Amino acid sequence: MQIPIMAHLVLGYPTLPESIRTAELYIAAGCAILELQIPFSHPTADGPVITRACQVAVEEQGITVANCLEAIAGLTSRFPQQEIIVMSYLNRIYTYGADRFREKMERMGIRHLIVPDLPVDSPVAKALHQPGQLQLLPVLAANVSDARLQQLLAAGHDFFYLMSDFKITGSTFSLNPRLKHIAQTIKATQANARVGIGFGISTAEQIHQVLEVADCAIIGSALIRAQEENRLNRYFNELLLETTKST
Amino acid sequence: MISTTSTYRQDILSSTGHFGPYGGTYVPEVLLPGLQDIAAAYDHLKTDPDFLDEFHTALREFDGRPTPLTPLPRLSAEIGGAQIFLKNEGLNHTGAHKINHCIGQAILAKRLGKTRIIAETGAGQHGYATAAVCARFGLDCTVYMGRIDYERQRPNVYWMELLGAKVVPVEDGSQTLNDAVIAAFKDWVEHPESYYLLGSAVGPHPYPAMNTFFQKIVGEETRQQCLDQIGRTPDYVMACVGGGSNAMGMFFEFLDDEQVQLIGVEAGGRGTQPGEHAAKVRQGVKGIFEGYHSYFLQDGDGNIASTHSVSAGLDYCGISPILAHLADEGRVQFATASDETALAAVQRLALAEGIIPALESAHAFAHAFELAANLTPDQVIVVNASGRGEKDLFITMRHFQPESLRKVGELLLKG
């Protein structure tokens, strides 16, 4: 059974083999989508939990982009049916080479890429967004205008990441009332487009609240926090149980 | 090489945020509407006579402009080479050039109907100026400062708080300017209705061009003062470079004077190893970070490297995209000065001319003294003293009079 959750993890946290085992846990549990973040020294849009995880991966583990690509390739070949989204800050992709990075993604069958500090229509973005192959996933907040939304839909984006509110990752959860309108606008314009909502989600109740508006709930910091406290398995299984029990 | 058809000034003023391959707007989508509002306001107001009148009136009445161009005859004679002049931006209200762009941006923020200001600071000069301007214009003010800078620039923290600002020490990363910038951006994501008063010629569009526009008064005054005082433009103009706001302010008016050589001086720190300096043009590589495309100090795999400088204001990983372009074009040359030579320059300027420069500015003087010795007395060097040195009390005292510092500490503890 597929559970409408996008489970996020930082590659190389706490070590590369352990992050791969965490990915396997999420896949085995039936998470619809796996989001794999390439760690960066300065994750400018992330809260303290993901920032700490990135620091461990970069400074203690010395994880390179090449290490990450190898790990992703391993997962895509072992789990070809699993939908995997890759997330990276722009400087790591830019330094690796945007064209080279896109080719790698396409070869591994990755269809969607999240680059939080890259407006999806900026010049550099063109190398990473090829509708029908690799697509950039716009990360939007409630202040996105209707005109801007139409512009993004016209550019062929078919998956949208909405920030639950004006927050950084791992904050207290609240659902901005305008997200409903944004999700409806997206669906009305492009029936096949998908919408995910993330930032601050940590309970089954919040997941249900999000699923009333979106196709999937994106969970990141809460999972890493549980992992920091050595209670990931229990927390994750309870969360899934609660989520599926009442849907 | 210098392009013969260049009109650098026009290009920068009319730019939409791209300087050669550099600049741009690389931020999360949530920040785009706010940046677009600021860019549109700047685009409109930079030619609006009412706005410019209000800006220049505040520079005169509140800040105390113009600042003098001071000849340094004793020091020049001692060195025995070129004549050195000092543009004394340390005489600005709050002690540095930073207040020029703070006044400009605060008036712009008011016109946009903003009531809350967010800022980052390194040495504390930008934060101090922002706090003063916010008090003056009745704006709520929050300043982010890396924990290390917060400790080493304690006097400025105190002044900011006395001016009513909330100063937040940032515990993330290397706890310096870079981390303060990131914390300020995160605050802006959480409060997109606030105004982010970014304090250098870096960041996404329109900040590099806009802060250059508000700072160009420095070079405009200097150029006219040179014509009045020595009858010609100088041979060399120098400024220290952290992000690049004082350098762009000083250089802008001279960009199309091909006979004037422009030299930016970066922090050489303690050595050339990664983490020991902040020399972006010498050792940085192209990257995209904190909203803009430029040279950054990095590890080779796309991670941002840590930096070091004795001066908090130069202790930063990136450089203005405008300066990156001017470096590629060969229009601005770059040099470095070490922690040691900067400290020595503070002392030398103090003893010979009665002026104590900020440690940041002392980097430019250190290089100027070196260069002057190889020039002739008919040649003229102008150095931007971007700030005054009082804020560095505890750092320079530890270096020059460690015993006095210890005594001050004991006295204070006794109460």
Calculate the alpha carbon distances from B197 to A199, B167, B172, B207 in Å.
26, 14, 21, 9
Same domain (yes/no): B35, B72 = no
Compute the nearest-CA separation of B301 from chain A (Å). Answer: 6
Structural domain count of chain A = 1
Indicate whether B248 belongs to any domain. Answer: yes
pLDDT recorded at residue B251:
98
How confident is the model over B196-204, as a mean pLDDT? Answer: 97
Indicate whether A93 belongs to any domain. Answer: yes
Same domain (yes/no): B25, B142 = yes
Indicate whether A178 belongs to any domain. Answer: no
Q: What are phi and psi of B221, to 5 degrees?
A: -65, -45
Indicate whether B220 belongs to any domain. Answer: yes
Indicate whether A82 belongs to any domain. Answer: yes
Same domain (yes/no): B361, B236 = yes
Q: Do B302 and A95 touch (CB under 8 A)?
A: yes
**Is B245 noted as a catalytic residue in this protein?**
no
Indicate whether A204 belongs to any domain. Answer: no
Q: Of B226 and B313, which is predicted with more confidence?
A: B226
Given B15, B76, B89, B98, which residue is catalytic? B98
Same domain (yes/no): B43, B113 = yes
SS3 for A220?
A: coil
pLDDT recorded at residue B175:
87
Q: Which residue of B has its CA nearest to A56?
A: B173
Same domain (yes/no): B33, B80 = no
**Is B286 noted as a catalytic residue in this protein?**
no
CA B323, CA A104: separation in Å to the nearest integer?
Answer: 34
ipTM above 0.90, yes or no: yes
Compute the nearest-CA separation of B70 from chain A (Å). Answer: 42
Given B46, B76, B120, B280, which residue is catalytic? B120
- Where among B168, B188, B211 does a domain terminate? B211
Chain A positions touching B286 (Cβ under 8 A) are: 94
- Where among B182, B211, B240 does a domain terminate? B211
Compute the nearest-CA separation of A245 from chain B (Å). Answer: 34
Q: Name, of B99-108, B304-313, B406-415, the range with top average pLDDT.
A: B99-108
Q: Do B182 and A44 touch (CB under 8 A)?
A: yes
pLDDT recorded at residue B154:
85
Specify whether the CB–CB gap between A8 and A32 falls below 8 A.
no
pLDDT recorded at residue B6:
58
- Where among B211, B237, B270 does a domain terminate? B211
Same domain (yes/no): B131, B280 = no
Q: Of B303 and B415, which is predicted with more confidence?
A: B303
Non-local CB neighbours of B341 within 8 Å, separated by 6+ positions: B268, B363, B366
How confident is the model over B403-411, as a mean pLDDT? Answer: 89
Same domain (yes/no): B204, B173 = yes
CATH of the domain at A27: 3.20.20.70
Indicate whether A183 belongs to any domain. Answer: no
Indicate whether B4 belongs to any domain. Answer: no
Same domain (yes/no): B346, B320 = yes
CA B108, CA B161: separation in Å to the nearest integer?
Answer: 23
Same domain (yes/no): B278, B233 = yes
Cα torsion B104, B108, B109, B112 to 10°: value is 180
pLDDT at B394 over 80: yes
Separation of CA A161 from chain center = 8
Residues of B with CB under 8 A from a CB of A: 24-30, 32-33, 172-173, 178-179, 182, 185-186, 189-192, 285-291, 296, 298-304
Q: Using CB atoms, which residue from A65, A118, A145 is nearest to B301?
A: A65
- What pLDDT digit, counting tens, does each position of B359-376 carry? 999 999 999 999 999 999
Q: What is the mean pLDDT of chain A?
A: 95
Name the β-bridge partners of B167: B143
Task: Using alpha carbons, select from B361, B94, B340 the residue that is nearest to residue B245.
Answer: B361
Chain A positions touching B27 (Cβ under 8 A) are: 117, 119
Indicate whether A51 belongs to any domain. Answer: yes
Same domain (yes/no): B279, B164 = no
Indicate whether B8 belongs to any domain. Answer: no
pLDDT recorded at residue B2:
46
How big, in percent rounded to 5, are the helix, strand and coil portions of chain A?
Answer: 45, 15, 35
Share of chain A above pLDDT 70, in %: 99
Q: Using CB atoms, which residue from A41, A144, A168 is nearest to B29?
A: A144
pLDDT at B17 over 90: yes
What is the domain extent for residue A73? 3-136+210-245
Indicate whether B405 belongs to any domain. Answer: no
Indicate whether A159 belongs to any domain. Answer: no
Indicate whether A70 belongs to any domain. Answer: yes
Instruction: Read off the amino acid at residue B161.
Output: E
- For A152, other C-beta atoms within 10 Å of its C-beta total 21
Same domain (yes/no): B194, B223 = no
Min mean pLDDT across A232-241, B2-11, B114-123, B124-133 is at B2-11
CATH of the domain at B318: 3.40.50.1100
DSSP B71: E
Chain A positions touching B193 (Cβ under 8 A) are: none
Specify whether the CB–CB gap between B72 and B146 falls below 8 A.
no
Q: Do A139 and B186 touch (CB under 8 A)?
A: no
Indicate whether B415 belongs to any domain. Answer: no
pLDDT at B1 over 80: no
Compute the nearest-CA separation of A89 from chain B (Å). Answer: 9
What is the domain extent for residue B102? 19-60+96-211
**Is B78 noted as a catalytic residue in this protein?**
no
Q: Which residue of A has its CA nearest to B179?
A: A42
Structural domain count of chain B = 2
How confident is the model over B287-309, as a mean pLDDT? Answer: 96
Interface test with B, best of A37, A95, A120, A157 (most B CBs within 10 A): A95
Same domain (yes/no): B316, B297 = yes
Non-local CB neighbours of B210 within 8 Å, separated by 6+ positions: B38, B42, B101, B104, B105
Residues of A with CB under 8 A from a CB of B: 40-42, 44-45, 47-48, 51, 55, 58, 64-65, 90-96, 116-120, 122-124, 138-141, 143-145, 148, 163, 166-168, 171
Chain B positions touching A120 (Cβ under 8 A) are: 29
Compute the nearest-CA separation of A5 from chain B (Å). Answer: 23
Q: Which residue of A has its CA nearest to B192?
A: A166
Indicate whether B282 belongs to any domain. Answer: yes
Name the β-bridge partners of A3: A31
pLDDT at A215 over 60: yes
Indicate whether B109 belongs to any domain. Answer: yes
